[in-house]
Amino acid sequence: MNIGDKVRFSFAKKEMEGTVEKIFEKSVYIKADFPRQKGKIIKRKIKDVKA
C-alpha cells in the first residue's frame, strides 16, 4: 500500500472507496467522497482496509 492507491473500507455496513493520503505503522488516512462531504479524510487501521 502506497500513497495515492485506491482502497476499499467499510462504512455504515457498506463498502466505500477512497485514496490513501498518509500511512503510519498501524493506521492509514483515506480521502473519500461522502454524499454530503466531498474529500473527507478518515482514519482506519491498516488491518481494516482492503487494498
The answer to whether the pTM exceeds 0.85 is: yes
Cα Rg of the chain (Å, integer): 10
CA 27 to chain centroid, in Å, comes to 10
User: Three-state SS for 12?
Assistant: coil
Q: Alpha-carbon distance 10 to 8, whole Å?
A: 7
- C-beta neighbour count of 18 within 10 angstroms: 24
pLDDT in tens, the chain (51 residues): 899 999 999 988 999 999 999 999 999 999 999 999 999 999 999 999 987
